[in-house]
Amino acid sequence: MRHGKKVNHLGRKSAHRKAMLSNMACSLIEHKRITTTLAKAKALRVYVEPLITKSKTDSTHSRRTVFSYLGSKEVVSELFRDVAPKVADRPGGYTRIIRLGYRLGDNAEMCMIELVDFNELMLNDTTKKSSTRRSRRGGASKAATTTETVAEETAVVEESETPEASTEDTTSEETEEEK
């Protein structure tokens, strides 16, 4: 039974687990997106989100606290310099986990964990949402309207062509073929 077990030990001793999560958090902050197993990503989310929250207040104490978890000066400075201003107005939920499928070797469930405010593709998709409504019979009516517009366009083209223009076009085509 799983009563009262809040920490996923990930099959490692505590020192190994802390080192692994620290390294993964550094990689996530540095690259903004990493691919790992689902269990590690869930454990990493619990580990890194409080650090990002702490980075919102840029003080010596918060920098030292975050450094004690990460252990890399470059990553700490990048967290406070680049990441913190982008997530300043967000109340939480700084990471997103996207499932990718299963690994070929051991069938472990793989996923990609990324910082939410750094994915430009997702940010652009949310701003371009259209407000069109779709009905269940939308396909038939849409197909009928497209055939009507095509028929109208061909009628307009046929009316605009004169016999003189059509003979000029054919003669110019024949001369090009002869060359």
Question: Residues in the chain with pLDDT < 50?
Answer: 179
Question: What CATH number has the domain bearing residue 30?
Answer: 3.90.1030.10
Nearest to 114 by CA among 54, 30, 39, 8: 30
Convert 99-125 to b/e letters by CB count within 10 Å (16 or more is b): eeeeeeeeeeebbebbbebbeeeeeee
Same domain, 55 and 81: yes
Q: Based on the structure, what is the number of domains in the chain?
A: 2
Same domain, 19 and 47: yes
User: Residue 149 sits in which domain range?
Assistant: 138-178
Instruction: Provide the pLDDT for residue 121.
Output: 82
Same domain, 100 and 145: no
Instruction: Provide the pLDDT for residue 114.
Output: 96
Instruction: Provide the pLDDT for residue 141.
Output: 53
Is 89 a domain residue? Answer: yes
Instruction: Provide the pLDDT for residue 177.
Output: 53
